[in-house]
Chain A
């Protein structure tokens, strides 16, 4: 199977076959990462530009390393939205990157749909590295890769996504991806952080951890945006941690071999207790490695259109 699309904008429009292909391709990529010399010549002479309107060292570095391990040339552009005239910058910057001859643009933006807007403007390929509260497809793919690696499958698993669902692009992409792959998805959080009609996305919503985490195979803990407290969406960090912070007590509602994920960076001791973050259930560190492998797979599929075995050999 070949990967035939110009852009990766979200998991809403990826098919199960395409998702499976990305996850399968990430496996040989992860082998490359285990080698002493982590470099293959596959994308030599091709260029990747990261365009970040929101700071995220972690995601940007992950994409850049992925591109470099495949021998692509990389450049990064960081734009602080406050310092530019709103709106003008994306259109103008896109045109500039285009004429510089970038093959692929990886964009992170605080506004939903900004990657779609960019993809319509340029001939270069566009990868969404997170847009507003809309989608974060590569994060969901690496989450799914990690779950599949640890549990051997996705279909039939019970996965809880815990925290601020309303403002989370990670939650939305996970919901699309996991439900497509046959997992049962629950969302758990306070009603003020739960958007309307979320059930219509094919998930069950819970306001209490006792019920939401009961018997689940995986808990994907979302990062708490600390500034939400000032906006009155929950009374205090302390109360949030008491009701929704993942600790030993709440972990006991889940299956004994539950897997704990977090997209990082973790607010230590707030959404997840240090014992669990560093404990045996956690795959938080491996998620980072897997993130590079999944992004290598995507760049490879999108930019070379080749077959998986070429890379493994």
Chain B
């Protein structure tokens, strides 16, 4: 099958350019790239005014399989990814049972065999995600994990984290850290600040995150391991990571769309879809996160897609689980809130959502060049649509963005030369 994309701006995250070029795809690869390509035999799609981007990679999502298939499966989650403009996803290991052994990783890879979008699993760092003993990391590496993480939990014992980091060096494997001092955050349901005081909710202070960011950075420095800080939410964390990078520590970091678009004031509605961990913070934090994205302190935008069933979320605030279903709204949220407002250039967005996550994880490089595998995300900056959770293909309809009018939806997702989504239709 031949595919010809005509009239779009091809974004190059390395040269930091966006040039009007036609793209020809044949046999799963990019075969031509030129201002005017004629290929009568190819299926031709006009993408005037659209941005043709290297395929986006979500390096942090939860697919819930095995164990909680009512929330999401590998298949429904990857369909949601394709629909949202992602050409690869990295799924966390907090499944039931947890992905702390070869069998679970192999099961996920088998389920991913029919998925429209490739799945790269993360293995647990410790047995049962308990933070006590190392998982069989060598075995996990052989089974094909791309990183280690006990995400959902912080590794509370510093000695255990030290050993995880040391051991991972043997494979130069990335360790993804969910930073949360679980004594400080215990029973908290939202950011600790004026809003938690107003609403009478138990708060989670910024320090609960920052203490573990600081600790993890020190341990990364000591061990020389590769550390990635997941879902940075606070201004203080950004500052700590900035200084660590300056000191040469091998650290990367990510932020989620919801931490960039919402503050703790959203909790005033008592909508349990605003309940997320780490919690939504304040305007001050959002500004620091944006600055971190601009100056390179924060490398990646990842969804932390955490689907839950309607029944679980339709309860009193304290009883609802943490998490937002994020795969299908990430691209337009980031276009509307970052690109359209001038926080990031389109090429920077592509760096944060495609190039950098692939680099960090050692996945096939995300650039559009002749000879490369055709993984493409096409964004239409003019397309303005409301978010409609009922149209989500994810089983998780838990989104606080329902009804938001957003510009910059992805309109075409191409994985290995195959169209997996076109104009919001599968």
Contact = CB atoms under 8 A, between A and B. Distances in A.
B193 interface: yes
B107 interface: no
B319 interface: yes
A186 to B, nearest CB: 16
B315 interface: yes
A113 B199 CA distance: 8
B197 A112 contact: no
A135 B199 CA distance: 8
B167 interface: no
Interface string A105-116: 000011111101
B194 A112 contact: no
B200 A172 contact: yes
A177 to B, nearest CB: 15
Contact of B201 (A91, A133, A196, A198): A133
A86 B319 contact: yes
A201 B197 contact: yes
Contacts of A91: 314-315
A112 B190 CA distance: 12
B270 interface: yes
Interface in A143-178: 166-167, 169, 172
A195 interface: yes
Contact of B198 (A90, A111, A132, A201): A201
A166 B198 CA distance: 10
Interface in B195-220: 196-201, 203
Interface residues of B, number: 20
Given A86-B315, A86-B319, A132-B201, A196 B194 contact: yes
A87 interface: yes
A113 B316 CA distance: 7
Contact of B316 (A111, A167, A169): A111
B299 interface: no
Interface in B169-201: 192-194, 196-201
A301 B154 CA distance: 52
B318 A111 contact: yes
Contact of A169 (B194, B200, B319): B200
A87 B197 contact: no
A36 interface: no
A167 to B, nearest CB: 8
Contacts of A198: 197
A195 B315 contact: no
Given A113-B270, A117-B270, A197 B194 contact: yes
Contacts of B200: 112, 131-135, 167, 169, 172
A110 B314 CA distance: 17
Interface in A93-132: 109-114, 116-117, 131-132
A87 B315 contact: yes
Nearest to A135: B200
A116 B270 CA distance: 8
A87 B49 CA distance: 48
Contacts of A86: 315, 319
A88 interface: yes
B315 A90 contact: yes
Contacts of B319: 86-87, 111
A198 B194 CA distance: 7
A310 interface: no
A196 B193 contact: yes
A288 to B, nearest CB: 24
Contacts of B203: 195-196
Interface in A60-97: 86-88, 90-91
A227 interface: no
A111 B196 CA distance: 13
A113 B317 contact: yes
A112 B314 CA distance: 15
Contacts of B314: 87, 91
Contact of A200 (B192, B194, B199, B316): B194
Interface in B241-278: 270
A197 B270 contact: no
A182 B377 CA distance: 59
A135 B197 CA distance: 11
A197 B199 contact: no
B192 A112 contact: no
Contacts of A195: 196-197, 203
Contacts of B318: 110-112, 132
A112 B315 contact: no
A111 B317 contact: yes
A221 B320 CA distance: 33
Q: Which of B203, B315, B316, B320 has the most CB of A within 10 A?
A: B316
A199 to B, nearest CB: 9
A112 B193 contact: no
A166 B199 CA distance: 10
A259 B319 CA distance: 40
Nearest to A110: B318
B402 to A, nearest CB: 15
Contacts of A111: 316-319
A69 B196 CA distance: 38
A54 B315 CA distance: 17
A197 B197 contact: yes
Interface string A42-56: 000000000000000
Contacts of A200: 194, 197
Given A134-B199, A201-B197, 10 more contacts: A87-B314, A87-B316, A91-B314, A112-B317, A131-B200, A134-B201, A135-B200, A167-B200, A169-B200, A197-B197
Interface of A: 12, 86-88, 90-91, 109-114, 116-117, 131-135, 166-167, 169, 172, 195-198, 200-201
A-B pairs, top 8 by smallest CB distance, nearest first, are A87-B315, A133-B200, A113-B270, A134-B200, A197-B194, A195-B197, A111-B316, A87-B319
Interface of B: 192-194, 196-201, 203, 270, 311-312, 314-320
16 contacts: A86-B315, A86-B319, A87-B315, A87-B320, A88-B311, A90-B315, A91-B315, A111-B319, A112-B318, A113-B317, A117-B270, A132-B201, A166-B197, A195-B196, A198-B197, A200-B194
